[in-house]
Structure 1
């Protein structure tokens, strides 16, 4: 494995098993992940929330089948925010998607398995271009996996965000008519997904960011003012862990440019 870039604020978050368990509902308001009973998996989550993403992947994989979801989340968040080499980023997403695919095949009732498959494929698609990914059939796989996630866990706010982004990006790239007829992408559904995500998790910086982006893609530049307001809300939030710190700093960086 290539050397991973360290979380820039390593040491800022000092969770241990007890504090992660105590703050579990807040830390997992986005993914509705159940508190693990395996101490090894809980320790992998401790590493994740502290921003030790590489070690979280290693610990999750070492814990076996029940650690796959934390390993995939740590890998995907790392690749999305911190990995500088595009080739490595895409490889990490592909590996996470494959692990999640196998997990979903063995545990089809696990919403996280479907979600991380969709997330990894979605970010991979953005990396190779959404148009190319749609031509390869990845769009349908992402949409179906996200819909499966929500059917299994209706309170999975992050899946609502990602499904909203799917509808927005497809319509933005191929237009409403082709997007609807070929890929089932609909403007009203996309907006509804973003709004539901914020209803489920109103203090989610990534929900605010993605909603802002989706509004402009779906409604046009007339929504720039509202999108800026959403970015400002995201930038003003107090992050609860390393992942949210990366989300908030993304919003602040966008506002500064």
Structure 2
């Protein structure tokens, strides 16, 4: 079945190889991904940033392991923001997690294989319930992969967002005491990860929205003003590609609730 189309097409998101290279540092401030050296991967990333996630994944996979990162990212962004069928979403996250394990074996020093492993398992956990996922040992896998990511790429802002989510979700679902003793979850440590992400990538709508969500889960009404401010800031971020546009639109939706 064909993937759903990106609903906000914009010519500003369509790049040539030259314009992609010029925009690359800003577009990849979140994941610290190096500019691709193969022409086929340049085309895959052009497709990704324009919102053609299915083509991006297909082109990346055709290259093999060097193309896994764009395939991981395209699959995860599509599953997170556009796929409405829960079974299909979970299947995509499972595929990415399995592919990441192969990448880790072949490219042990590539942070992408660890970050997308943590991301896909984390999203899968949210889909099946965090408590059930923790019982299956996913918590340790997510934490280990995020630790490896930030060890290999200390400036990986998106990994810090994921770490913040990790702390918040575990504390919210099993409590601060069990979360801390069993999984190393700590509320303030999670908040520090969100602030680090924003320092590394100040233009990130995702960092603001996920920080707001964590504050809402863990501090409730006490932090309501800060929560709404963060969502408002996220909604006002200027999107430079399809991924960022989806994140901005998600923040706008939160403000309408």
2-structure distance, mates of 1:10, 1:140:
39
Show the counterpart of 1:112: 112
> Post-superposition shift, 1:256?
1.2
CA offset digits 1:18-38 (Å, max 9, x no partner): 111110000000000011111
Cα distance in 2 for partners of 1:9, 1:171 equals 35
Count residues with an aligned counterpart: 256
What is the distance in 1 between the residues matched to 2:253 and 2:196? 26
Aligned twin of 1:3: 2
How far apart, CA to CA, are the structure 2 residues paired with 1:14 and 1:152?
31
CA distance in structure 1 between the partners assigned to 2:99 and 2:199 by the alignment: 30
For structure 1, which runs of at least 5 residues remain unmatched after alignment?
Answer: none
Q: 2 CA distance for matches of 1:84 and 1:217?
A: 24
Q: Which residue of structure 1 aligns with residue 19 of structure 2?
A: 19
- Residue 246 of structure 1 aligns with which residue? 246
Does the 8 Å CA contact 1:10/1:52 hold for their aligned counterparts? no
**Range moving further from structure 2, 113-122 or 218-227:** 218-227
Looking at structure 2, the residues matched to 181 and 55 of structure 1 have their Cα atoms a distance apart, in angstroms, of 44
For 2:205 and 2:220, the matched residues in 1 are separated by 22
Partner of 1:96: 96
In structure 1, how many angstroms separate the alpha carbons of the residues matched to 2:220 and 2:248?
A: 24
Q: Provide closer, same or farther for how the CA distance between residues 240 and 11 of structure 1 changes in structure 2, counting only shifts above 3 A.
A: closer
Matches of 2:14 and 2:164 in 1, distance apart?
Answer: 33
Normalising by the residue count of structure 1, what TM-score does the alignment of the two structures yield? 0.98
Instruction: Tell me the residue number matched to 2:233.
Output: 233
Q: Distance in 1 between matches of 2:137 and 2:217?
A: 22
Deviations 1:195-245 (A, max 9, x none): 100110111000000011111223232111101000000001110100000
Separation in structure 1 between the aligned mates of residue 226 and residue 9 of structure 2, nearest angstrom: 33
What is the rounded CA distance, in whole Å, between the counterparts of 1:80 and 1:58 in structure 2? Answer: 18
Which whole-Å CA distance do the structure 2 matches of 1:227 and 1:101 have between them?
36
Aligned counterpart, 2:152: 152
**SS state of the match for residue 84, structure 1?**
coil
In the other structure, the counterpart of 2:83 is 83
1:11: how far off?
Answer: 4.4
RMSD: 0.9
